[in-house]
C-alpha cells in the first residue's frame, strides 16, 4: 500500500514539473511578438508564410551522391528562409509519385546522357513541351510556356539543321531564365579496365565503356581473348520489343543491328543501311546491305526491315512505340531498298528512330506471333535471342553469368572472342573483383573511394569522359512555392553546385546550367544565364519580387501576392 | 487412421493459411507506392509506352479484378509471368531454388551436425570453463551480422590468402551442360565453402544451445542413473541414452529452420554473389515485379508450413508420449 502511494506522489511531482516547463514555454512564445521591437514582425500574416517544401532524396544506399547532395541543397534552401523537409525515399515510390504522377514538390534525378539524346529532342522537346506535362509525360516540372512551345515545334519538325539549332539556342535561354527544373552538375565518368590485358578501350558518349564501339574495338593484349565484364546488375530481358532498362537495351545492340548507329560522339553513321535518301520532308528511301545474315543463317532482307516496323506497331511494343509512331508506312521499293513515309516531318527520325529500332528476324517473330499472339510476344523471354549483330547469344545463367560470343561471319569483326558478363550485386564486390583481376572492364562509375581501392592493382587503368546527362532537380510548377518564377530562381541560386562537386564528388564533376552538355558543341548554348550559387543574389531576387522575412528569418509571400509562373518579357 | 484424420485436419488449416497469405501478399504489393513501369521512365518510356506496359502486365484493370484473375490462375498452378524476365514465375523460382537449396542444405547440415555435437559436449562438461567459453562463443557468432562474418572470411581466405574464390557459384566462363554437371564439379565445391561456412556459423548457435539445454534436462533423468548403474561406459551413456532423447526439440527446430532457409539468405547471397532465392526476392520487390515477388513469398510460406507439418508428424513418431490429434 505504502509503495503505491509513493509512486503516486512521484508521478504527481513529475506531472507538475512537466506542466510548469510547458507553461513557461507557452508564456515565452506568447510574449515574444509583443517584446519584438520590429514593427514588420507584427504585420506578417501567418497565412502569408511560404509553404514548406517536401524535398525527396534518394537513400544513401541507393545513391550516395544524390543523398549527400540532396542534404546540402536542403540546408542551403533553409538558409534562404524556406522551410524544407528533406525526406529519403526509395526510387520505386519516388518515380511513381514524382516521375509519373507529378505529385512532388521537388526531387532529384540523374538523367542519363544516352547517345540518342545527343540530338537534344528529349531534353528540349519531350521534357519541356506542354503536351508532355500530363501524367506520365516527361515534362515533370509542368513547364507551360506558349513561346517555348512554338520554338519546340519548330525544332522538332523543321528539317533544316540551322533553323533547329537556332531554336535550340533560344529554348536553352528560356529554360535557364525560367528554371523549371534546373540541371545542377554532371559527373566526370570514370570507368576502369585492365590495361595489362586489353587496349584500345573506346568509350562512347553517355555509355562509357558499355558502348557498342568499345565492345567492337577493345583489343586483347594476350592470348586470352575473352573479355570479363563486371557490372552491378544483371540483364533482365532480351526481348527488344519489351525491355525497359538501359543495361538490356545496350546489350541488345550487340546482338541485333539497327539501320544506323550512333558513333562515339552520338552522331548517326550508316550501319545496316548503305544509303539514306531524303526524297522529301516525309519520305526517306533507305538501301540496306545485302551481306548480313541472322545468327541462325537466314539472310537479313528488306522484308525483315519492313516487318520490324510494321510488327512493332501492330503488337504495340512499348519499347518501340515512341520511335515508330511518326511512321505512316514502310514499303519495299526495290531489291534492297525500303521507303519510309512519315505522318509529318520529324527531325530526329534518323538519329532516334532508325538508330533505336533493332531489326528483328521475320521468320522467328512471325512464328512466335502465330503461337503466342500479340501479348505473348511482348511477354516472351526471346531466348536464345537471335539477331544479326557482331555478337551471338551464347548462354545466360541469371544473376550468375551471361555470355556472348563473336559472330565470325560479320562484316566487321570485333577483336575479342567473347564477352562474359558477371553481375556483382553490390558495388563493393565489383571493386574487389577489379582489384583481384576477376573483372577486366566495368562501366560502373568509380567513386573516389573505389578509385583508392583499385589503385592497389597497377594493371587497372581509368578512362575518363564527361557525362552527357546531368543531375537535375525537378521542381513542380503546379505547386507553391515552385509556381513562382522568382522563388524558383532564388532556390536555384541557393544550390551549392561547386561545394557539392568538391565535397561529394571529390572535384570529379562540372556545374551545368543547360541540359545540353557543353561537349555537345553543335547544340549547346554557352551564353545562357547562369544562376550559380550566390545566396546574396538569391535573397535579392526574392526581395525584389516583394518577398518578406520575419525576425526568425522565415520567408513570407509579398503583400497581395500574384504568382508569376514564367519571366515576363 | 488417426494419422490420416490428423493430416486431413492439418491440411485444411494449411490451405486456409496459404489462402490468407496469398491475399495479404497480393494486396501488400499493390498498396505500397511504386509500380513496375514508372521506375524506368528515365530510361526512355514516354507516357504512351508506360500505358502500354501497364496494360501488358494487366495492371490497368481494377484491383479486385486483378485479384480474381490471379486467384483463378493460381488454382491452375499458374503463378503468372515475371515482369522482369518474361518467363513463368514457376520456372524462375525453380532455377533459383535449386541454387539456394544446395547452399542451405550444406550449411544446415554443417550447422546441425556440429551444433548437436558441441551442444551435448558442452552439457556434459556443464559449469566448466569449456562450457562457459563455448556458450559465449556461440552467442557471439549468433549475434555477429552474417554479412560481416562473410566479408571477414572473404577478406582473409579469398582476398589475402587467395585460397578460395571471391564469389559466385563457379569460376567465370565455364559452360555447363546442366545443373548436376555444375554442382558435381570441384570448382563448384571451392565456391561453396565460404558461403556455406558463413551461414553455418550463423545458424549453428541455435542447435548448439538448444542441444545443451535439452541435454542438461535429460542428464538429470533416472534412466541415465540406471544406465550408469548397469555399468554402461560413460561415452555410450552419452551417445546412446542421453543424446537420443535430447535430440527431440532439435528435430523440431531443424524443420523450422529448413523451412525458413528455403527463402535463402539475402545477405549471404549478396555478399557471395550466389544466384539464389534471397537475391531474387530483393530484386523482385525493389523492381516491383509483383508476380515474381508474390510467387516467391507463397513458395516460402508453403515450404515453412509443410516443414512444420513434417516436424509435428516426425515428433509423434520419435516420441511415443506425444500423440496426434
Give the span between the Cα atoms of A158 and A166, in whole angstroms. Answer: 11
Confidence at A27, pLDDT banded by 50, 70, 90 = very low
Q: Per residue in A184-198, pLDDT tens?
A: 999 888 999 999 999
Confidence at B323, pLDDT banded by 50, 70, 90 = low
Q: Per residue in A13-25, pLDDT tens?
A: 555 555 544 444 4
Residues in chain B closer than 8 A to A432 (CB atoms): 154, 159, 166
Mean pLDDT, chain A, whole residue set: 90
Give the span between the Cα atoms of B229 and A550, in whole angstroms. Answer: 91
Q: What is residue A16's predicted lDDT score, i.e. its pLDDT?
A: 54
CB of B46 within 8 Å of any CB in chain A? yes
| CB contact (8 A) between residue A433 and residue B45 | no
Q: Which residue does chain B place closest to A92, by CA atoms? A: B34
Query: Strand pairing of A471-475 and A106-110?
Result: antiparallel
CB burial string B266-302: b at 16+ within 10 A, e below = bbbbbbbbbbbbbbbbbbbbebbbbbbbbbbbbbbbb
Q: Which residue does chain B place closest to A431, by CA atoms? A: B166
CB of A319 within 8 Å of any CB in chain B? yes
Q: What is the mean pLDDT of residues A375-402?
A: 93
Cα-Cα-Cα-Cα dihedral sign, residues B169, B171, B173, B179: negative
Q: Per residue in A156-194, pLDDT tens?
A: 999 899 999 999 999 999 999 999 999 999 988 899 999
Q: What is residue A409's predicted lDDT score, i.e. its pLDDT?
A: 92
Q: What is the pTM of this model?
A: 0.85
By Cβ distance, the residue of A126, A236, A244 closest to B46 is A126
Complex ipTM: 0.83
Cα-Cα-Cα-Cα dihedral sign, residues A230, A232, A238, A242: negative
By Cβ distance, the residue of B84, B154, B271 closest to A237 is B84
In percent, the amount of chain A with pLDDT more than 90 equals 78
Higher-pLDDT residue of B311, A99: A99
Q: What is residue B312's predicted lDDT score, i.e. its pLDDT?
A: 79
CB of B87 within 8 Å of any CB in chain A? yes
By Cβ distance, the residue of B33, B86, B169 closest to A242 is B86
| CB contact (8 A) between residue B288 and residue A92 | yes
CB of B161 within 8 Å of any CB in chain A? no
By Cβ distance, the residue of B37, B52, B166 closest to A436 is B166
Could you tell me which CATH number the domain at B93-318 has?
A: 1.10.3720.10
Give the span between the Cα atoms of A3 and A15, in whole angstroms. Answer: 18
Q: What is residue A49's predicted lDDT score, i.e. its pLDDT?
A: 93
Q: Concatenated DSSP letters for A14-64?
A: HHHHHHHHHHHHHHHHHHHHHH---HHHHH--GGGBPPPEEEEEE-TTT-H
Rounded (10°) CA dihedral A545, A550, A556, A557: -50
How is chain B split into domains, by residue range?
A: 2-75, 93-318
Q: What is the mean pLDDT of residues B278-303?
A: 90
| CB contact (8 A) between residue B86 and residue A319 | no
Cell numbers that stand for A18 in this block: 512537466
Q: Per residue in A1-14, pLDDT tens?
A: 445 566 655 565 55
Q: Per residue in B156-178, pLDDT tens?
A: 998 888 898 888 888 887 777 77
CB burial string B108-138: b at 16+ within 10 A, e below = bebbbeebbebbbbbbbeeeeeebeebbeeb
Higher-pLDDT residue of B293, B243: B293
Residues in chain B closer than 8 A to A109 (CB atoms): 42
Q: What is residue B42's predicted lDDT score, i.e. its pLDDT?
A: 84
CB of B156 within 8 Å of any CB in chain A? no
CB of A49 within 8 Å of any CB in chain B? no
Residues in chain B closer than 8 A to A242 (CB atoms): 53, 56, 86
Give the span between the Cα atoms of A244 and A393, in whole angstroms. Answer: 19
Residues in chain B closer than 8 A to A93 (CB atoms): 32-34
Residues in chain B closer than 8 A to A404 (CB atoms): none
Confidence at A342, pLDDT banded by 50, 70, 90 = very high
Q: What is residue A29's predicted lDDT score, i.e. its pLDDT?
A: 42
Q: Per residue in A452-474, pLDDT tens?
A: 999 989 999 999 988 889 999 99
Q: Which residue does chain B place closest to A405, by CA atoms? A: B173
C-alpha gyration radius of chain B: 24
Cell numbers that stand for A176 in this block: 535557364
The lowest-confidence range among A85-94, A526-535, B315-324 is B315-324
| CB contact (8 A) between residue A422 and residue B273 | yes
| CB contact (8 A) between residue A398 and residue B92 | yes
Q: What is residue A367's predicted lDDT score, i.e. its pLDDT?
A: 96
Cell numbers that stand for B36 in this block: 513496375
| CB contact (8 A) between residue B47 and residue A134 | yes
CB of A148 within 8 Å of any CB in chain B? no
- The alpha carbon of A249 is separated from its chain's Cα centroid by a whole number of angstroms, namely 15
| CB contact (8 A) between residue A95 and residue B38 | yes
Residues in chain A closer than 8 A to B172 (CB atoms): 228, 401, 420, 422, 438
Amino acid at each position: 500500500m505504502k509503495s503505491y502511494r509513493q509512486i503516486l506522489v512521484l508521478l504527481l511531482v513529475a506531472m507538475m514539473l512537466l506542466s510548469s516547463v510547458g507553461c513557461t514555454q507557452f508564456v515565452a512564445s506568447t510574449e515574444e511578438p509583443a517584446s519584438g521591437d520590429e514593427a514588420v514582425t507584427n504585420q506578417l500574416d501567418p497565412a502569408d508564410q511560404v509553404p514548406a517544401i517536401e524535398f525527396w532524396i534518394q537513400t544513401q544506399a541507393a545513391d550516395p551522391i544524390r543523398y549527400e547532395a540532396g542534404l546540402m541543397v536542403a540546408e542551403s534552401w533553409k538558409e534562404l528562409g524556406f522551410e524544407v523537409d528533406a525526406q529519403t525515399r526509395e526510387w520505386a515510390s519516388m518515380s511513381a509519385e514524382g516521375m509519373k504522377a507529378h505529385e512532388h514538390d521537388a526531387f532529384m534525378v540523374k538523367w542519363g546522357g544516352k547517345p540518342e539524346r545527343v540530338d537534344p529532342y528529349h531534353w528540349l522537346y519531350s521534357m519541356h513541351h506542354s503536351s508532355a506535362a500530363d501524367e506520365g509525360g516527361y515534362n515533370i516540372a509542368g513547364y507551360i510556356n506558349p513561346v517555348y512551345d512554338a520554338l519546340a515545334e519548330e525544332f522538332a519538325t523543321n528539317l533544316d539543321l540551322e533553323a533547329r539549332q537556332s531554336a535550340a539556342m533560344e529554348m536553352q535561354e528560356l529554360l535557364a531564365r525560367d528554371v523549371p527544373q534546373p540541371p545542377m552538375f554532371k559527373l566526370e565518368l570514370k570507368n576502369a579496365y585492365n590495361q595489362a590485358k586489353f587496349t584500345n578501350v573506346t568509350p562512347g558518349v553517355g555509355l562509357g565503356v558499355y558502348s557498342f564501339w568499345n565492345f567492337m574495338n577493345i583489343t586483347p593484349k594476350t592470348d586470352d581473348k575473352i573479355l570479363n565484364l563486371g557490372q552491378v546488375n544483371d540483364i533482365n530481358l532480351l526481348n527488344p520489343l519489351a525491355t525497359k532498362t538501359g543495361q538490356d537495351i545496350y546489350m541488345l545492340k550487340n546482338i541485333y543491328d539497327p539501320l544506323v548507329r550512333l558513333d562515339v560522339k552520338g552522331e548517326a553513321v550508316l550501319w545496316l543501311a548503305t544509303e539514306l535518301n531524303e526524297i522529301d520532308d516525309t519520305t526517306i528511301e533507305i538501301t540496306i546491305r545485302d551481306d548480313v545474315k541472322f545468327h541462325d543463317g537466314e539472310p537479313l532482307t528488306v522484308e525483315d526491315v519492313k516487318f520490324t516496323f510494321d510488327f512493332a506497331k501492330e503488337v504495340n511494343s512499348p519499347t518501340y512505340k515512341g520511335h515508330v509512331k511518326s511512321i505512316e508506312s514502310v514499303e519495299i521499293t526495290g531489291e534492297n531498298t525500303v521507303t519510309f513515309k512519315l505522318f509529318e516531318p520529324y527531325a530526329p527520325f534518323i538519329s532516334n528512330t532508325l538508330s533505336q529500332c533493332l531489326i528483328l528476324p521475320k521468320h522467328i517473330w512471325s512464328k512466335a506471333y502465330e503461337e503466342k499472339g500479340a501479348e505473348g510476344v511482348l511477354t516472351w523471354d526471346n531466348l536464345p535471342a537471335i539477331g544479326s549483330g557482331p555478337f551471338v547469344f551464347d548462354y545466360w545463367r541469371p544473376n550468375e553469368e551471361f555470355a556472348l560470343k563473336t559472330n565470325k561471319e560479320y562484316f566487321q569483326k570485333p577483336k575479342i572472342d567473347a564477352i562474359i558478363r558477371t553481375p556483382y550485386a553490390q558495388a563493393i564486390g565489383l571493386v574487389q573483383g577489379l582489384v583481384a583481376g576477376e573483372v577486366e572492364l566495368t562501366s560502373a562509375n568509380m567513386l573516389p573511394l573505389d578509385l583508392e581501392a583499385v589503385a592497389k592493382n597497377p594493371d587497372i587503368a581509368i578512362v575518363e569522359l564527361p557525362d552527357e546527362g546531368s543531375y537535375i532537380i525537378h521542381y513542380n510548377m503546379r505547386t507553391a512555392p515552385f509556381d513562382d518564377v522568382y522563388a524558383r530562381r532564388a532556390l536555384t541560386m541557393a544550390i551549392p553546385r561547386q561545394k557539392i562537386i568538391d565535397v561529394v564528388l571529390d572535384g570529379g564533376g562540372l556545374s551545368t546550367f543547360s541540359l545540353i552538355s557543353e561537349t555537345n558543341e553543335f547544340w549547346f548554348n554557352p551564353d545562357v544565364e547562369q544562376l550559380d550559387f550566390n545566396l546574396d543574389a538569391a535573397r535579392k531576387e526574392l526581395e525584389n519580387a516583394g518577398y518578406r522575412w520575419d525576425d526568425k528569418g522565415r520567408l513570407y509571400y509579398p503583400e497581395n501576392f500574384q504568382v508569376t509562373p514564367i519571366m515576363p518579357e | 487412421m488417426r494419422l490420416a484424420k490428423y493430416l486431413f485436419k492439418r491440411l485444411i488449416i494449411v490451405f486456409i493459411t496459404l489462402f490468407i497469405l496469398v491475399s495479404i501478399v497480393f494486396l501488400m504489393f499493390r498498396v505500397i507506392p511504386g509500380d513496375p513501369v514508372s521506375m524506368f521512365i528515365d530510361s526512355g518510356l514516354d507516357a504512351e509506352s508506360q500505358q502500354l506496359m501497364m496494360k501488358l502486365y494487366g495492371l490497368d484493370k481494377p484491383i479486385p479484378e486483378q485479384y480474381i484473375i490471379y486467384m483463378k490462375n493460381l488454382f491452375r498452378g499458374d503463378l503468372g509471368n515475371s515482369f522482369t524476365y518474361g518467363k513463368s514465375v514457376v520456372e524462375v523460382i525453380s532455377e533459383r531454388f535449386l541454387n539456394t537449396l544446395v547452399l542451405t542444405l550444406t550449411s544446415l547440415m554443417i550447422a546441425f551436425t556440429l551444433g548437436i555435437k558441441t551442444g551435448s559436449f558442452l552439457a556434459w562438461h556443464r559449469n566448466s570453463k569449456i562450457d562457459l567459453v563455448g556458450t559465449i562463443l556461440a552467442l557471439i557468432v549468433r549475434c555477429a551480422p552474417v554479412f560481416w562474418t562473410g566479408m571477414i572470411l572473404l577478406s582473409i581466405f579469398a582476398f589475402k590468402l587467395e585460397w578460395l574464390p571471391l564469389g559466385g557459384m563457379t569460376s567465370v566462363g565455364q559452360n555447363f551442360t546442366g545443373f548436376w554437371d555444375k554442382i558435381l564439379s570441384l570448382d563448384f565445391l571451392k565456391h561453396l565453402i565460404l558461403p556455406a561456412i558463413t551461414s553455418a556459423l550463423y545458424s549453428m548457435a541455435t542447435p548448439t544451445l538448444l542441444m545443451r539445454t535439452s541435454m542438461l534436462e535429460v542428464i538429470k533423468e533416472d534412466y541415465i542413473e540406471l544406465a550408469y548403474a548397469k555399468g554402461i561406459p560413460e561415452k555410450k551413456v552419452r551417445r546412446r541414452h542421453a543424446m537420443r532423447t535430447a535430440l527431440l526439440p532439435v528435430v523440431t527446430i531443424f524443420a523450422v529452420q529448413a523451412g525458413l532457409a528455403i527463402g535463402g539468405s539475402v545477405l549471404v547471397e549478396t555478399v557471395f554473389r550466389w544466384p539464389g532465392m534471397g537475391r531474387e526476392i530483393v530484386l523482385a520487390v525493389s523492381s516491383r515485379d509483383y508476380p515474381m515477388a508474390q510467387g516467391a513469398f507463397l513458395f516460402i510460406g508453403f515450404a515453412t508450413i509443410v516443414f512444420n507439418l513434417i516436424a509435428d508428424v516426425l515428433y509423434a513418431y520419435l516420441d511415443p508420449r506425444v500423440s496426434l490429434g
